[in-house]
Structure 1
Amino acid sequence: MKAMTKASGIAYLLIFISGFYANFAILENLVDLDNSEQTTLNIINDSIQFRHGLIAFFIMLISDVFLIWSLFKITEPTQKIVPYIASLFRGLHASFFLVALVQLNKIYTITSGKTNSSELQTRVIDLFKKFDEFWTIGLLFFGIHLLSLGFLAFKSNYINRFISFLLIIAALGYFIDGLSKLFLVSYNEYQSYFQAIVVFTGVIGELSFTIWLLVKGFSQKTFNI
């Protein structure tokens, strides 16, 4: 179990590193959905950087898929049914994220070696919007996963119960941002606030759990499940 806990902590850490790099260091610098011409030009001129972002996202996806299995094994002794529910919704999240990444890969393909044009700009922005929509839906499923994981943490006798509370708060952050993005007409006006909510709650919840996994995994002491 210690090896599984250690591997889960490393996988979660990889998600944080690759996710922040791809999303904030790459996409935030290249993409402006309100300026299709500049966005397309950025990607054409910085195709290597965009490819690095794609690779980072796929590392994130692979780590996420691994966690479907490893977190199930860690939480399985706690409940009979809920670990399956948690795994199912993390799997749905990974599936939607994969579909979202297909859209980014299409952008990389259609812009490689191309010159900027209005037709290309329209296609690029359309694919970015699809990427964002698929990922948003996936994150709603991820929120349900975190709720289930928070419940399992609360019921377990080996995970700190304060972490269960933080995981549930993180889930609520994903719900608030995701539902607002999909259904709130004026979302763009308050986007920075919603993003701050999901980043703050997600970081404190998931990072706390990541630290717990790493500490338990690398600790010389054994723990009972």
Structure 2
Amino acid sequence: MSTQTTQAARTAPRTGSPDVLRRVAGWAAAGYVAIFVLAIFGNFLALDPTIHPGEPGATADALREAGTTFRLGIAAFLGIFLADVVVAWALYELFAPVGRSLSLLAAWFRLTYTVVLGAAMGLLYVAVSLAERGTSAGDEGVLLALQAFDFTWVVGLAAFGAHLLLVARLLVAAAGPRWLAAVMTLAGAAYVVDTVAHIVLADYEAWAGGFLLMVALPSVVGELAFTIWLAMVARGRRSIAAG
């Protein structure tokens, strides 16, 4: 090994160093911002307006009318899929100094959710393809494909909930805000409970509003606050405790 190479190795930022932690915190914060923006478009502006529960014809007609927007929504979910991989890596690097095994497990849970979301995206493509055929049998398949996407995504969110529960523990270990860890714990538990409710409650739709509130409130507050905290770590205004 040359003298120059040895010197470069000595001066390069090491894993767990303040420079590296700020850098990966910045990547995680940027990934979260991208996910927020893409999720709003993909879910609330592209997907939700096309779904008419119990009305296959109306659902297929809505999808055909908004075909370009719906396809852009699929692209938005693809962006979420890719951004989640970056966030999983960045959070692993960020929290590894305070708990490498726990941080790795948290990353695996997030990647599991990401893989499930990626597989579910195929159902969105099936829905738009069937809608473009314009047959009554195809209309039935459109609604079924969209419902299957929703349920598959919900199953994946159970793994995402487990990820949040572990991140909350890592936040405490890293001397992060305990109130934020508590909110993240509530959000993680809510995701898991909601998935179980989808499976075991035959009349889930009758309780859907309450479950939505249970999940959305701690999730939006917790993940938004977590994004701000990550940005503050990236700017050096917050630090990660050494393990």
TM over 0.5: yes
Give the TM-score band, short-chain normalised. Answer: over 0.9
Count residues in correspondence. 221
Q: What do the CA deviations read for 1:51-102 (whole angstroms, capped 9, x no partner)? A: 1111111111111111111100001001131111101111110111111111
Gaps of 5+ in 2: 1-20
Give the CA deviation at 1:202: 0.7
Q: What do the CA deviations read for 1:163-203 (whole angstroms, capped 9, x no partner)? A: 21111011122122211112111111111221122111110
Please say if 1:200 is aligned against 2:217: yes
Pick the aligned partner of 1:60 from 61, 74, 80: 80
Pick the aligned partner of 1:106 from 126, 148, 151: 126
**Contact (CA 8 Å) 2:42, 2:77: kept in 1 or not?**
yes
Give the CA deviation at 1:5: 0.7
Please say if 1:138 is aligned against 2:156: yes
Share of identical aligned residues, percent?
A: 24
| SS across alignment from 1:33 | coil
Pick the aligned partner of 1:188 from 194, 205, 217: 205
**Contact (CA 8 Å) 2:127, 2:145: kept in 1 or not?**
yes
| TM-score (normalizing by structure 2) | 0.86
**Contact (CA 8 Å) 1:153, 1:160: kept in 2 or not?**
yes
Letter in 1 for 2:239: F
**Contact (CA 8 Å) 1:180, 1:187: kept in 2 or not?**
yes
Pick the aligned partner of 1:13 from 33, 36, 52: 33
Question: Which residue of structure 2 lines up, in the alignment, with residue 175 of structure 1?
Answer: 192
Q: Take 1:94 and 1:44, find their aligned partners in 2: how far apart are those partners?
A: 28
Root-mean-square deviation (Å): 1.5
Question: Which residue of structure 2 lines up, in the alignment, with residue 210 of structure 1?
Answer: 227
| SS across alignment from 2:100 | coil
Q: Take 2:40 and 2:57, find their aligned partners in 1: how far apart are those partners?
A: 25
Gaps of 5+ in 1: none
| Distance change in 2, residues 1:123/1:64 (3 Å) | same
**Aligned counterparts, 1:87-102, within 5 A:** 87-102=107-122
Q: Rg larger in 1 or in 2?
A: 2
